[in-house]
């Protein structure tokens, strides 16, 4: 079973604020999320894959991937 993260846990993992994740979700540019009832949740593997795709091999920021 995948590790499911709350919005706050995903924000901590990405070292951003929950508001930033909300903004990215609104834009469609952040990690894949889903709703469980009324709560926004993230699969840890989706967040990690999104973070990996956001940076190229040189460590420079790559274009933000679409969710």
Q: Where are the domains of the chain?
A: 4-54
Which pLDDT value is given to residue 64?
60
Partners of 42 in beta bridges: 5
Predicted local confidence at residue 62, as pLDDT: 54
One pLDDT digit (tens) per residue for the chain, 67 residues: 779 999 999 999 999 999 999 999 999 999 999 999 999 999 999 999 999 888 755 566 555 655 5
What are the backbone angles phi and psi of residue 43, rounded to the nearest 5°?
A: -85, 130
Q: Determine contact, residues 9/41, Cβ cutoff 8 Å.
A: no
> Which pLDDT belongs to residue 9?
97
Q: Are 14 and 23 a contacting pair, CB within 8 Å?
A: no
pTM (whole model) above 0.75: yes
Q: Is 61:55 a contact under the CB 8 Å cutoff?
A: yes
The confidence score (pLDDT) of residue 2 equals 79
């Amino acid at each position: 079973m995948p590790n499911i993260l709350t919005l706050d846990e995903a924000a901590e993992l990405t070292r951003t604020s929950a508001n930033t994740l909300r903004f990215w979700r609104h834009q469609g540019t952040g990690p894949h999320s889903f709703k469980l009832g009324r709560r926004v949740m993230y699969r840890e593997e989706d967040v990690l894959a999104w973070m990996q795709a956001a940076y190229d091999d040189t460590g420079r920021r790559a274009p933000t991937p679409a969710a």
